[in-house]
Amino acid sequence: MSHELKFFINGAWVDPATPKTLDVINPATEEAYTRISVGSAADVDRAVAAARAAFPAFTLTSKAERLRLLRRILEVYNKRGEDIARAVSDEMGAPMAWARDAQLWAGRVHLEATIHALEGFEFEKQRGGTRIVYEGIGVAALITPWNWPLNQIVCKVAPAIAAGCTMVLKPSEIAPISGIIFTEVMEEAGVPAGVYNLVSGDGPSVGQVMAGHPGVDMVSFTGSTRAGIIVAKTAADTVKRVAQELGGKSPNIILPDADFETAVRKGVESCFSNTGQSCDAPTRMLVPRGRHDEALAIAKLTAEAQKVGDPKAEGTILGPVVSEIQYNKIQRLIEAGIKEGATLVTGGPGRPEDLNRGYYVRPTVFGNVKNEMTIAREEIFGPVIAIMSYDNEDQAVEIANDTVYGLAAYVQSKDIAHARKIARRLRAGQVNINYPDWDTFAPFGGYKQSGNGREYADWAIHDFLEVKGIIGYGAA
């Protein structure tokens, strides 16, 4: 049975309080391929009431019970893997190989990381005569984005369950179908009624209502900094906790002693992965001034090797960006780069020549980028990289930190001790040295306008917990 027009509230698929639908567009075809229901304040009220009613019993469950539930969710998630991957490909244009090997994989490994973290997590400890107790914060409103749908859903739902919270999820209305399938996973896994609830819809009609709802104790939001500010202001009236993972404009410092060709090539590939739609993408490449032209030549070859096309076709590396709005924004920023005097090395405005429909963007490299240019300041969220020069490493660090964002940063060097010193000077929540593998146990979150709070494994569990001191408890 299809659940696109339903919400999941108190353990059952239900109709919206007021019927209203929204088309879901396949960005590869620019055509609607299904519809979802758009929720309202009445639907949020029902979901929050269900979560509040379920909280007292669920938060008293044992760690062993929550572990059993998470392991069952993982089992069903793996069973539904191909359905999830196909949904991600249809709703956000991800090539099928990427949908399976990155998008689907991300949800799986974060479930595994949360399970591992919970196994060793201590919810109580003694400090003198005081007992320190970590308790679930209550009802959590979870608002997730379209660019890594399973990654962000699991990064919120799994630790919320581990902490003993109940929740209401609003996935992005742009890429909502994978979230609906994930909800079917939760139902089949036997999540108790009211512990997990889903209300689909847009930000103003559902997300903002959740953020301001007096029955919600915490909001966990991932999205743009602009939307995050609205969420935080809305939540302030009820003094609830707000954890946010927002935008980024991550620098990638290639030091003079790095393996230059490899560092530049991997930097471009990393920036363009997921069609450039990652908040931690290394979008600003900083290279020694004397090697700037060499970097442009390597970047040009790398960009032109990225096969752009049909997500279902064999060999496609980059699919379309997710929507017409995103496509138009990226085009505006590419035009700004040209107008402001950056060197267009390859790519540029418009679709690739062999594609006449779909929100496809030409992989674009800009050189001679100055830090005051729009393309060096604004988050583009597409396959566009800005290459900048520095005269010495102090200047490189200064340029890297000269941004309102602070989500991620990157350093490349053959001298690991030197790279570590540079990493400590970068104002970012996560610094990557020499393109390491993804670490799902490392804290993920930002400095400055990239947000607050941390996700992944035990870091995320802590975000969903309150700390209680029972004084006079006595010795252990």
Tell me the catalytic residues.
245, 279
| Cβ within 8 Å of residue 208, ≥6 positions away | 230, 231, 234
Q: What order do you get walking across the sheet with 196-198 strand by strand?
A: 12-14, 7-9, 196-198, 166-170, 139-143, 218-222, 241-245, 451-452
Tokens standing for residue 446: 């930002």
Name which of 172, 174, 31 is nearest 91 in CA terms. 174
Amino acid at 65: E
- Label residue 223 exposed, middle or buried (CB < 10 Å: 0-12, 13-18, 19+): buried
- In Å, the largest CA–CA distance within the chain is 74
Question: How many CA atoms lie less than 13 Å away from 195 in the CB half-sphere?
Answer: 27
270 and 409 Cβ atoms separated by less than 8 Å = no
258 and 412 Cβ atoms separated by less than 8 Å = yes
- How far, in whole angstroms, is CA 250 from its chain's centroid? 14
| Cβ within 8 Å of residue 236, ≥6 positions away | none
Name which of 363, 373, 304, 370 is nearest 333 in CA terms. 373
Q: Which residues pair with 467 in a beta bridge?
A: 134
d(CA 322, CA 329): 12
88 and 105 Cβ atoms separated by less than 8 Å = no
Give backbone dihedrals phi and psi of 389, rounded to 5 degrees, phi first.
Answer: -105, 150
Strand bridging mode 130-136 / 124-127: antiparallel
Q: Which residues pair with 408 in a beta bridge?
A: 430
Strand bridging mode 21-26 / 31-37: antiparallel
d(CA 28, CA 272): 17
Q: What is residue 286's three-state secondary structure? A: strand
H or E segment at 170?
strand 166-170
- Number of residues that this document lists for the chain: 476
Give backbone dihedrals phi and psi of 26, rounded to 5 degrees, phi first.
Answer: -85, 115
H or E segment at 344?
strand 343-346
The DSSP output letter for 274 is: G
